[in-house]
């Protein structure tokens, strides 16, 4: 199967509830003597996309980890729907999908099994649903292949299928365009647009511009 058979702009991928909003207030993070994040503040409302940009080593991934709650900032807070995320960890995580640098796939499991076990911790999901999401991400034909034999781009797409399958309101994507071909990049932009149309929020770390026909908030770290 070729990826060209996939629709460029998929149908709605999420059904987020209204008034979803993420607020980052005065976040400071030190790494040893380095002041990595110096008072970062911003807000993202339902339906908005934010492009986090900046040179290497400026703390983009650190910021995403703070937003996910993996890293506690020395100062400042992250609020979801007006409540600090530390006060509602599991509720917040239920609405969050994080795709890190690493695709987080087990080489010995098939793409479908990888999704079954990771999405299965968030919500009850059938194999048919997961195959649909893999199809949407353009890797339906690889569903039963071990992740070991997939190319880096295909693994990235499987990781994206996991984000879709989680039905999360807030997407936090760390360099999702890495290893994707031109069609894959356009397809990912289509997914982001559809997510935004459905009222979802997304934070995307990317070194390239997001090719979207809509307003994208931009946070430049330096």
Partner 1 sequence: MTVGTPRAMTVVLRRELTLSLRRPDQILQPLVFFLMVTTLFPLSLSPEPQLLRELAPGVLWVAALLAALLSMDGLFRGDADDGTLEQLALSGQSLAAIVVAKTVAHWLVSGAALVLVSPFVALALGIPVGAFAPMLSSLALGTLTLSWLGAIGAGLTVGLKRGNVLLSLIVLPLSMPLLIFGASATDRAITGGSAAGPLYLLAALCVLTSTLAPFAATAALRITLE
Q: Does the footprint of partner 1 cover residue 145 (CB under 8 A)?
A: no
Contacts of 180 (CB under 8 A, 6+ apart): 153, 156, 157, 188
Q: Does the footprint of partner 1 cover residue 94 (CB under 8 A)?
A: yes
Decide whether 144 or 211 has the Cβ nearer to partner 1: 144
Distance, in Å, from the CA atom of 37 to the CA atom of 29, rounded to the nearest integer, reads 5
According to CB under 8 A, which one of 5, 74, 108, 144 is a site residue for partner 1?
Answer: 108
Under 8 Å between Cβ of 167 and 123: yes
Q: Tell me the C-alpha to C-alpha distance, in Å, between residue 159 and each of 19, 22, 31, 154.
A: 27, 23, 28, 9
x/- map, 44-83, partner 1, by CB under 8 A: ------------------------xxxxx-----------
Q: Does the footprint of partner 1 cover residue 120 (CB under 8 A)?
A: yes
According to CB under 8 A, which one of 93, 154, 169, 196 is a site residue for partner 1?
Answer: 93
Distance, in Å, from the CA atom of 29 to the CA atom of 160, rounded to the nearest integer, reads 28
Tokens in use for 94? 């239920």
> How many positions of this chain bind partner 1 (CB under 8 A)?
29
Distance, in Å, from the CA atom of 31 to the CA atom of 100, rounded to the nearest integer, reads 20
Q: Does the footprint of partner 1 cover residue 218 (CB under 8 A)?
A: no
Helix (H) or strand (E) holding 218: strand 217-220
Decide whether 74 or 211 has the Cβ nearer to partner 1: 74
Q: Minimum CB separation from partner 1 for residue 29, in Å?
A: 10
Q: Does the footprint of partner 1 cover residue 118 (CB under 8 A)?
A: yes
Q: Which stretch binds partner 1 (CB under 8 A): 13-21, 103-111, 185-193, 206-214?
A: 103-111
According to CB under 8 A, which one of 124, 126, 128, 222 is a site residue for partner 1?
Answer: 124
177-182 own/partner pairs: CB under 8 Å, 24+ apart: 177/206, 177/207, 177/208, 178/101, 178/152, 179/151, 179/152, 179/153, 179/155, 180/153, 180/156, 181/3, 181/153
Q: Minimum CB separation from partner 1 for residue 68, in Å?
A: 6
Applying CB under 8 A, the residues found at the interface with partner 1 are 68-72, 90-91, 93-94, 96, 98, 100-109, 113, 117-118, 120-124
């Amino acid at each position: 199967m070729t990826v060209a058979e996939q629709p460029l702009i998929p149908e709605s991928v999420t059904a987020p509830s209204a008034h979803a909003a993420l607020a980052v207030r005065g976040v400071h993070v030190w790494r040893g003597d380095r002041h990595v994040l110096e008072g970062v503040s911003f807000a993202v409302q339902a339906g908005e996309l934010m492009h986090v940009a900046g040179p290497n080593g400026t703390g983009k991934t650190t910021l995403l980890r703070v937003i996910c709650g993996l890293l506690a900032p020395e100062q400042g807070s992250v609020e979801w729907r007006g409540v600090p995320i530390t006060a509602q960890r599991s509720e917040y995580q239920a609405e969050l999908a994080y795709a890190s640098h690493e695709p987080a796939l087990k080489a010995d499991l098939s793409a479908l099994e990888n999704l079954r076990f990771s999405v299965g911790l968030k919500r009850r999901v059938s194999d048919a649903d997961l195959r649909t999401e893999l199809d949407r991400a353009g890797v339906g034909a690889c569903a039963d292949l071990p992740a070991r034999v997939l190319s880096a781009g295909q693994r990235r797409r499987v990781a994206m299928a996991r984000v879709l399958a989680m039905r999360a309101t807030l997407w936090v994507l760390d360099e999702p365009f890495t290893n994707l071909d031109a069609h894959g990049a356009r397809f990912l932009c289509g997914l982001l647009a559809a997510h935004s149309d459905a009222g979802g929020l997304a934070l995307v770390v990317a070194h390239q511009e997001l090719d979207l026909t809509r307003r994208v908030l931009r946070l430049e770290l330096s």
